[in-house]
Chain A
Amino acid sequence: QVQLVQSGAEVRKPGASVKVSCKTSGYTFTNYLIHWVRQAPGEGLEWMGIFKSDIGDTIYARNFQDRITLTSDTSTSTVFMELSSLRSEDTAVYYCAREGVGTWYLDFWGQGTLVTVSS
C-alpha cells in the first residue's frame, strides 16, 4: 500500500537548519512528484516547493527560495527537505504529499513532522 513516512519531530534554535525526510513506498517513485507543505499552529496550509521525481528537478516558493533545498535518495525512494536560517515563525508541522505526474492534485500525504524553533 502507498506510504509516505516522515521523520520524527525536531527542535532547533534560531539560525539553525533542519532536514526532514519523507520515505515513500508502495508505488513507482518516478511516477509521482513530491510537494512540501507546512502548517503553523492554528494557521493555514502554505506551499513550499516541489521535487519532480520524474526528472529530478525542483521548484521553490518565492517565500522560501533562499532557505529551502529539496533532494532525494532514489535508492530508498526518499525525499528530503532542508530549511536553513530557522526563525521562530518556522515552527510548524511540515508535510510531504504526492502528486501523480499530470494530475495536478495531492492524493496522499505524509503524517507530518513538527519542527519547533525555540531558543
Chain B
Amino acid sequence: QSALTQPASVSGSPGQSITISCTGTSSDVGGYNHVSWYQQLPGKDPKVMILEVTNRPFGVSTRFSGSKSGNTASLTISGLQPEDEGDYYCKSYQSSGTYVFGSGTRVTVL
C-alpha cells in the first residue's frame, strides 16, 4: 500500500500559479472521484482544501482548484500568497476499501 506520488517540493513567487500532482493507479485515483487535498501549515492540523477531485469546502479560497486526468489528480494554487506556504497532501479511496495519502509536497513562496 504505497503512498501516492507527489513532488517533494514546489515553489513560486507571490502572485504566480503552481500545480501539485498526485499520481496513483486505476485502483485509487484513476478509479474513483474520492480524491481530497489537505493543507498542513507549520505546527497545525491538516485542513481539507478540495474534496471529490474538484469541490471546494465552504470558506476555502477560490484560488485553490482541483482536477484529475487518468491516474493523476492535481491541485492548483493561483495567485500564490505567503500564507499558502506549507505541506500539501492528496488522499484517495482505494478499491480495497482502504484509503491512501500522497507522499506530501512542501510549497515554498519565494
Contact = CB atoms under 8 A, between A and B. Distances in A.
Interface of A: 35, 37, 44-47, 50, 59-63, 95, 97, 103-107, 109, 111-112
A111 B43 CA distance: 11
Given A45-B38, A104-B93, A105-B48, 18 more contacts: A35-B99, A37-B101, A44-B3, A44-B87, A44-B101, A45-B89, A45-B91, A46-B3, A47-B91, A47-B101, A60-B98, A62-B1, A62-B98, A105-B52, A105-B91, A106-B38, A106-B91, A109-B45
The SS class assigned to the A binding surface is: strand
Contacts of A50: 98-99
B34 interface: yes
Contact of B98 (A47, A95, A103): A47
Interface of B: 1, 3, 34, 36, 38, 40, 45-46, 48, 51-52, 57, 87, 89, 91, 93, 96-104
B1 A109 contact: no
Given A44-B103, A112-B45, A104 B97 contact: no
14 contacts: A44-B104, A45-B46, A45-B91, A47-B91, A50-B98, A61-B98, A62-B96, A63-B1, A95-B45, A105-B51, A105-B52, A105-B91, A106-B48, A107-B57
